Amino acid sequence: MAFDLVQYFNDQIRIQKPQLLNCYPKQKQDLTIQELNCLILGKLISCLREDEEKFYYEIHQLDDLYIQEIARHLTTSHSNQSKLNKSELEISLFDILKLQFLELKQLDETASLGKFGIKELLLGQVEYLSGKAEDWVWTTNNLLELKGTKPTLTEDISLENTLKEFNQMATQNQTHASEEVIEVKEPSWAKIVEPLVALAILWILVNALCTVFA
């Protein structure tokens, strides 16, 4: 079931919760929401893996106490490295969790997914989550197979340098090729032959004139 819930939830958070973390600059707000979205969605996948029956039941219960318990567990985890303060983090996690539960419930009811469909949908999100967050997110929500999937800054810089070097090499080759073309068009022997050709033409003209007036 190839449906990207990561991007879908990101969009729904911005539409339904525009006030969430709006005290921060737009770029930081967007990055933080994406980070929390990945943290929570990954946790839902972990909960599903632990107990499919209970998870499916809780989706339809929309129990605030259960949602609060998950939010608090993520907030107090020793692996959590979010830059938000604990209170702000827990409130934000609760809001996003409730939105995700509600959206999953509506998707289930609209598309008649059932337990198997919800399971397939959520497990399919692992590939969409890959590379979207720092390793502490996957350690915190126990989605350990995604550790190391986000490209590091060093790798980005290395790729950028490689592309620059390639472009420089291509430019140098083009310049060298242009110089070679110019040299072919104007060979050095042409400068020596030109006077001889002119003398030969002049001799032919003089000889022709002498023939006419002879």
- pLDDT, tens digit, for every residue of 1-42? 458 999 999 999 999 999 999 999 999 999 999 999 999 999
Q: Are residues 131 and 208 in the same domain?
A: no
Mean per-residue pLDDT, 185-213? 61
Global pTM value? 0.71
Q: Are residues 85 and 186 in the same domain?
A: no
Split into its structural domains, the chain has a count of 2
Residue 136 to residue 139: CA distance in whole angstroms: 5
Q: Are residues 94 and 165 in the same domain?
A: no
- At CA 154, angle to CA 153 and CA 157, rounded to 5? 85
CB atoms under 10 Å from CB of 34, counted, come to 17
The confidence score (pLDDT) of residue 78 equals 96
**Single residue among 150, 175, 194 that ends a domain in this structure:** 150
Q: Are residues 63 and 27 in the same domain?
A: yes
Q: Are residues 133 and 146 in the same domain?
A: yes
**Single residue among 150, 168, 198 that ends a domain in this structure:** 150
**Single residue among 109, 133, 150 that ends a domain in this structure:** 150
Whether 54 shows a pLDDT value over 80: the answer reads: yes
The confidence score (pLDDT) of residue 214 equals 57
Residue 178: which domain range?
155-213
pLDDT band at 149 (very low <50, low <70, confident <90, very high): very high
Whether 157 shows a pLDDT value over 80: the answer reads: no
Q: Are residues 91 and 187 in the same domain?
A: no
Q: Are residues 159 and 146 in the same domain?
A: no
Place of tokens 């609209």: 110
The confidence score (pLDDT) of residue 112 equals 93
Q: Are residues 31 and 118 in the same domain?
A: yes
User: Which of 9, 28, 25, 7 has the alpha carbon at shortest distance from 17?
Assistant: 9
Q: Are residues 178 and 145 in the same domain?
A: no
Burial letters 168-189, b for 16+ CB under 10 A, else e = eeeeeeeeeeeeeeeeeeeeee
3-class secondary structure, 66 = helix
Q: Are residues 91 and 170 in the same domain?
A: no
Q: Are residues 66 and 168 in the same domain?
A: no
Q: Are residues 109 and 199 in the same domain?
A: no
pLDDT in tens, 67-102: 999 999 999 999 999 999 999 999 999 999 999 999
